[in-house]
Amino acid sequence: MEAGQLSNLGIIIQARMKSERLPGKVLKTLPFGSAETILGRIINTAKLITSNVIVATSNDESNIEIEIFCQKADVDCFRGEEEDVLSRFVEIQLRNGFDNIIRLTADNPFVDSIAIAEVLQFHVLNQFDYTSSVNLPLGMNLEIFKGEALLKSLIFLENEQDREHVTSVLRRRSEFKRGIYSYPEKYSGIRVTVDTVQDFLVANILAQIESKYKIKGFKLIEYVLEQHSWVFNGNKNVIQKNSKIDRLDELKESSRILSSLDYFRASDILKKEIENDLS
């Protein structure tokens, strides 16, 4: 990779305090009772890649806590529209002119700097407009995209969801050269994101093991899989909210899940909703 592409790299961490299932989770300490917050862990990992780290939150009054935290952590904080998340990224890009942007979210405390470096190299060497990793545990995958591609995506916006979800146009439109960096599928079904109380409890166990044995990222996941695989049963039944699908797709996915659990009557009700949406 060319040095300039690294020096002009930005990492934007999407954060908010108003989580429906676990409010204030981004500033909860991990392990519980320690001095380090979930957001702080992610910032520290990001700084291993670049000094250009920006936390993007909204103007909602609840997020003043995030701004105060960022000031103390000596990291830039940008506050913008609550629902129009894309506009926050666009404004940050217009101010900084990054060649490439890595998008992280503040509920993924175990994101791995090694994975970031691997996916970044793949993205830059192949000159992709948009690159994502797949098959890592839920909460460790990441997205990288060119700053200019982000700005170009604005001409293809179709609905409010395109503004709520930063990369939907980049993932959808053939005008953008896309890459997928695949990891082994052995991590499938593992959750290391923090979206619910169950997730937070699992994350606490992982963080304690990490602290005791001084292992992070892939090495931590591998160790727990081999020695304490039961840990991942703690949040195995949590259904992930998919931010990348619209109402119709969400109904279809919900119907599929209900059918797999033999809840056929509830599934049939959702199928009628789908038919109404299509009519």
pLDDT over 90 (residue 244): no
DSSP E strands, 45-160: 53-58, 76-80, 100-105, 130-134, 143-146
DSSP 205-222: HHHHHHHHHT--HHHHHH
Cα distances from 241 to residues 26, 27, 83, 250, in angstroms, run: 17, 21, 17, 9
Name the band, by pLDDT with cuts 50, 70 and 90, for residue 241.
low
- pLDDT value for 110: 97
Q: Which of 177-186, 219-228, 243-252 has the lowest mean pLDDT?
A: 243-252
Q: What is the pLDDT of residues 12-66, one digit of tens each?
A: 999 999 988 899 999 999 998 899 999 999 999 999 999 999 999 999 999 999 9
Task: Give me the pLDDT at residue 22, please.
Answer: 92
Q: Indicate the pTM of the whole model.
A: 0.85
Higher pLDDT, 197 or 189: 197
**Tens of pLDDT along 122-132?**
999 999 999 99
Exposed/middle/buried for residue 76 (C-beta within 10 Å: 0-12, 13-18, 19+): middle
Q: Is 227 exposed, middle or buried (0-12, 13-18, 19+ CB in 10 A)?
A: exposed
Pairing of strands 178-182, 9-14: unpaired
pLDDT value at residue 68: 98
Q: pLDDT at position 136, please?
A: 95
The answer to whether the CB of 216 falls within 8 A of the CB of 192 is no
| Predicted pLDDT at 192 | 97
Q: How far apart are CA 149 and CA 141, in angstroms?
A: 20
Mean pLDDT of the chain: 89
pLDDT of residue 133 exceeding 80, the answer is yes
Q: How far is CA 264 from CA 206, 240, 253, 254, in A?
A: 37, 21, 14, 12
Count Cα atoms within 13 angstroms, Cβ side, for 259: 11
- Average pLDDT (205-223) is 95
245: confidence class by pLDDT, cuts 50, 70, 90: very low
In the block, tokens 């830059």 appear at 124
pLDDT higher than threshold 50 for residue 149: yes
Q: What would the mean pLDDT of 69-82 be, rounded to a whole number?
A: 97
